[in-house]
Amino acid sequence: MRNIPNLENIIIAHRGNHNNKIPENSLKAFKLSLKENRPIELDVQLTKDNVLVVFHDENLLRMTNKNIILQETTYEEISKLFLLNTKEKIPTLEEVLNLINGNVLLDIEIKNTKRINDTCRSLLELLRNYPNNYLIKSFNPLIVLWFKKNASYIPRGLLIAKNYSKNKFINILVKSKFMINLCNLDFIALNKNLINEKKWLNYKEKMPVLLWTINSSLEISNDKNIGFICNIPFK
């Protein structure tokens, strides 16, 4: 049985508490979130040599000034790089789990990959003995379906964007009632610009909705069944 966290009006730190001096998805950003008792959203990807690391982009260029595809790189190579102009490095998920230790909710986004089985198995193994205070989500419904089949007790959600690809059929399918029912979702993580569409207004009455990405406190409301993934501190 899934232990689904209360997501109503929750404010989740998008990639931790980060700013121009503290890099996103860094241990320092997560320590600040932990200090504020703030739930944390983070991104995970698998390196070439099967280490789960916490990083958002497909390419390392924006955050490390190295034009390298993360999933084609070994952890040893990644471990030598620094985030922006700081001493912070790309953390492993294991490091982050040891730091947080269940003290705040973790909202774990699994980035898209061709190695779904390897990525999901690695994540499940790390979570086996972790305190039950987390949820998983992905833009890729095949990843969500993997957890439905192999670890149905983990709360899971589907990230909903306006467009996923240039393929019109894929855009329709991923956001369809069929796919949402097939994944047996516990929540939806919705692009904030879609919330006023009738379809999603109806869904928020059926399950929790997390809106992303919020940049100002003015975008936060008291709407029933809605939580917020926010860039903190607000700009």
- What positions carry a catalytic annotation? 14, 56
Nearest to 231 by CA among 44, 221, 217, 138: 217
Instruction: Determine the 3-state secondary structure of 117 from DSSP.
Output: helix
Element (H, E) at 2: none
Residue 138's beta-bridge partner residues? 158
Let me know: does 42 contact 109? Beta carbons within 8 Å.
Answer: yes
What whole-number distance in Å separates Cα of residue 16 and Cα of residue 37?
11
Integer Cα distance of 65 and 84 in angstroms? 8
Tally the residues of the chain: 235
Return the number of other C-beta atoms located less than 10 Å from residue 200's C-beta.
17
Tokens 């790309």 belong to which residue?
90
CB atoms within 10 A of CB 146: 22
How far apart are alpha carbons 117 and 111 in whole angstroms?
13
From 58, 110, 64, 115, select the one nearest 85 (Cα to Cα): 64
